[in-house]
Amino acid sequence: MKRTKTKPATKTTKTTKTFLTDDFLLQNDVARELYHDHAKHEPIFDYHTHLPPDQIAANKVFRNLYEVWLGGDHYKWRAMRSNGVSEKYCTGDAGDWEKFLAYARTVPHTLRNPLYHWTHLELKMYFGITDLLDESTAEKIWKKANEKLPSMPVHELLRRSRVTVVCTTDDPTDSLEHHRKIRESQSAGRDARATKPLGTRVYPTFRPDKALTVDQPATFNAWVDKLAQVSGVECRSLSGFLDALRKRHRYFHEMGCRLSDHGLNHVYADDCTEAEAARIFADARIGKKVSLADANKFRSFMLLFVGELYAARGWVMQLHLGALRNNNTRLMRTLGADTGFDSIGDWPQAEALARYLDRLDSTNRLPKTILYNLNPADNYAFATMLGNFQDGSVPGKIQFGSGWWFLDQKEAMEWQINALSNLGLLSRFVGMLTDSRCFLSYSRHEYFRRLLCNLVGRDVVNGELPRDMNLLGTMVRNICYGNAKNYFGLEPGKL
């Protein structure tokens, strides 16, 4: 039998894509159409940030690229330390140019770290710079960016980013004087160093974390004394303490606040009567050491108390769960908190979280709630928790928040989106936030929108979703902006 010769397989050549083009992260035609026609031009509703309200009120002009970009960025500091850069060039006394140059030398070593993407997205988005940052391009990039910064004060950066709402993060003892100044300047139709008012509406967020530090008497008592001073309510007893918090909560509400936020290892949901909480509070106020068991009881009592406050005024409660903070004791003593020495914790989360939400729900006092998870191992636990407490009153009343902190990068944001898609309603998701202290971080919204469109586009190409661009485009636009606008009940600014 004569054997038929088979032709050798044709070798296919895969085209290498250029880095950071207009179609960055968009791997097919559907993804590109969704992004460019639906996601790209949506404004930004930034409902959780750490942007300094004093800089917004003053319409701050940054003196150079270091100040606007590197000054408070612990993501970049961590990378620099990993690259063998001395602390002098991270948080130390080196000059601004020297610190920038140290980061520029680090950037080539961040390949496959999200910093490599974010760095070049930010340079391109705000300064039109497409050069790759390294030691050889550092001086050119430094000069070009610094030449543009005088015409880019804070308000201009917010306009360019098309931000309609910014929610800052504020302690209950804060005066909110900068929020008041922003309001007054907008009402007067002008703002600092500008001829037209800021289009972005700026709102405070109530963050009462220090109310739970009862096991740290020095910290707790100093904060309670300040609370008493700003509220005008004596805090010698628990009842006075609660009255002071009620008064500050009312003040924040009058100042436009409609969100709270809590940064917790995990939710506390131990049984605690008011009498027990009063005893623990009294012990802390006289400087007596509070046991861990009593501290957890007190925290449980306080979380129920504030949750009921939020529900009564129609606020949204945000719970950021799972950060293991301040792991390096030596550098915590030297540099303080929020300098880049935190990591993912691995506490059990589901049982206490369910108990806490159920206690509020059982008395019809469960507010709209966003759950942010820092340990991706718990993604499915969090995503399934949502369905237990949706009550039909509000679409997506309980939300699974976007990938947070160590998870606000491509892979982990896709994990969060997939978990929510599989176990809830992605179409009701309130989308991305910056969680940043930097006014250049709005490129992260672009990053999120691109990967969202790519995920949906991939499903269409695979035949897993219909190619109905009206249906898909509506969902994408809502996730980018519309859902947050409807969910939070805050009036957006006019761009």
Q: What integer pLDDT is reported at residue 343 of this predicted model? A: 96
pLDDT over threshold 90, residue 398: yes
- pLDDT (average), residues 331-347: 92
Q: How many percent of the chain have pLDDT more than 70?
A: 96
- pLDDT (average), residues 230-241: 98
Which candidate, 369, 362, 321, places its Cα nearest to that of 344?
321
- Average pLDDT for the chain: 95
Which candidate, 267, 246, 361, places its Cα nearest to that of 313?
246
Q: Which SS3 state, helix, strand or coil, does residue 194 take?
A: strand
Its sign, for the CA torsion 301, 304, 307, 308, is negative
Q: Which SS3 state, helix, strand or coil, does residue 259 take?
A: strand
Q: Model-level pTM?
A: 0.95
Instruction: Give CA–CA dist 93/87, Å, rounded.
Output: 9
- pLDDT (average), residues 393-406: 96
* Contacts by residues 297-302 (CB-CB < 8 Å, ≥ 24 positions apart): 297/270, 297/271, 297/272, 298/212, 298/214, 298/272, 299/212, 299/214, 299/268, 300/268, 300/269, 300/270, 300/271, 300/272, 300/356, 301/272, 301/273, 301/274, 301/276, 301/277, 302/208, 302/211, 302/212, 302/277
Q: For the residues of 280-337, what is the DSSP string, one character each?
A: HHHHHHTTPPPPHHHHHHHHHHHHHHHHHHHHHTTPEEEEEE-EE----HHHHHHH-S
pLDDT over threshold 60, residue 294: yes
Instruction: Give CA–CA dist 14/17, Å, rounded.
Output: 9
What tens digit of pLDDT does each residue of 257-268 get?
999 999 999 999
Q: What integer pLDDT is reported at residue 3 of this predicted model? A: 46
Least confident of 6-10, 40-44, 283-287, 486-490: 6-10
pLDDT over threshold 90, residue 1: no
What tens digit of pLDDT does each residue of 72-115 get?
899 999 999 999 999 999 999 999 999 999 999 999 999 999 99
What tens digit of pLDDT does each residue of 408-465 get?
999 999 999 999 999 999 999 999 999 999 999 999 999 999 999 999 999 999 999 9
Q: How many percent of the chain have pLDDT more than 90?
A: 92
Which candidate, 319, 382, 314, 375, places its Cα nearest to that of 354?
382
What tens digit of pLDDT does each residue of 144-197 get?
999 999 999 999 999 999 999 999 999 999 999 999 999 999 888 766 565 578
- pLDDT (average), residues 220-242: 98
Residue in the block written with tokens 């997205």: 121
445 residue type, one letter: H
